[in-house]
Structure 1
Amino acid sequence: MSEAALDEVSVLSSIYCGAGEFQLLQQSAEDGVLLQINICVERERRLDVSLSFHLHPHYPSRPPDISVSSTGLSRSRCHNIRQKLLEQAATLPPEPMVHQLVEFLQECVELTEDCKGDQDGVEQTVGQEQWISVLLLDHIRSRNCYIGLLECWTQQLQLTGMLLLGRSILVILQGAKPDIKKFCRLLKTVKVDVDSSGKKCKERMMKVLIETPLSSSCGYGLKGFVVKNYQSLSELTASFQELHLTELYQQMLPSLRDWQHAGSHGD
């Protein structure tokens, strides 16, 4: 990372110093910096907006990747705001720009337009069929960092999801199939966790248990990105039932049991 980028991170943490305003999710020479800024925009009503910035190793010569999420704005509105921020970033000189982009959001974007939220938990992308996938993760040791990255990626890729933590670590994802594929690719190419020796590592052992087009009668319980712990198989089953995904669960259960059986006999 450039010295200018590291200095900017320090400055941002000082500017956005309120409770929960600034969070540094990841920092490495190889992958760059991932940070999140949560702000409140006051217009006709209060709107809490979460902005995630991925500063690449070549930043600020290369503009940051940006994701936008808000419980008070529809998914399409968040997507439109993200596009405006990316367009604005492309017009700025190659120097630290995150604070300018946050100010641009607060001053120039009409956030109050279309503030209906996501009543159904998912907003279908025009021309793209909605899919649902269940991923099996190998381990989560650096919990806060790992979960922060998963949540950031779902926001960035306009996915909804749930992380289930128990004997098996499962991620349920819902959204456009290409975006789910991008999520899986990020898991295997970005250092998201640490290994048993404490060294940063990628999720190379991730397995897709099932992926299928989303039925109109299921899956609409997913909203945003939720983390849930379970203690038993019955609690895991209940979690899928609450999401109206019982049939999907039954289809993936043999693959899950095969993995658990192999794990119990492995090293």
Structure 2
Amino acid sequence: MAEEELSLLAEIFCFPGELVHWRSGDAIHVNVKISEPCAQMGSHDVLNNFVLPLDYPSNSISEINITSSSLPADFINRIKEKLQIHAVTRRGEPMLLELIELSKESLNKLHNQTDLCQHLDKANIQQKKCLQAEDIQSCTDPDSTEKRQANCSSIQYKGLWITLIQLDHMRSKSKYTKIIKNWSKYFNLSGRLIFCQKLILILLLGDRENLKTYLVQHKTACVDVDSRGHSCKERMMTVLTEEPYTATVKEGKNMGFSDFQAVECSNMAEVENIFKTYMLHYFCHSLSVCLVNTPPPLF
């Protein structure tokens, strides 16, 4: 059971350092790093550490630790206590994903508390002073203007990420497509659902946390039907690429997606054209490498 949960987490937390797990003696150690946005600090990383017994989930999690370099210890202890209480109530059931979501939820609630805001405001003031000092130094740098001009055509939008997903098949295409469209709207995501012969791709653009929540929803909810017509979950979804969104600006306009649509392509040239139209040429290589067994040859 632990292997199934770790496999699910690996689909969601797929960047280096986000998910690390190992076995040591009679326990399995799992580290999950999350990054939560905060108005006072921009964002901060929080490390969730879980120690699982080998017979988990029959026995509850042995130990839970929460660490963060940007939050005070008393706030971290509050989150840890909430997770420990929840772990006791869920004994005998898989709970890792629930604990991680509870950790995020607790962080968001703490952000709205006055005492935490005051603590982070002080840190933010100090950070701004450091940035102002750097700006003064850059003004004296004769190369600074040239560097800024060289980077003006490509802008990395803070908080926006883009994800490319492959689905193996759809038995109930109309139902499945409607679900994906509804979720993209609910999670405020734009992009394209691309069909090309047997190839099915989902290209999503939006807030990183919304993308991760979407992936959880997609992996855990019933979205299709099996060979007997019974509702079933998605077991063959692959995240091909997930990275910060670098938007190309042309004539002052962002060339990214403005909505979510399903698109039917008759050949791979049309799929390639979608990537080129939205200035996502770098995705073509990822797609061709990951789908080497899909005829005809890609790009």
TM-score normalised by structure 1 residue count: 0.47
Which structure features the higher share of helix residues? 2
TM-score (norm 2): 0.42
- Largest Rg, 1 or 2: 2
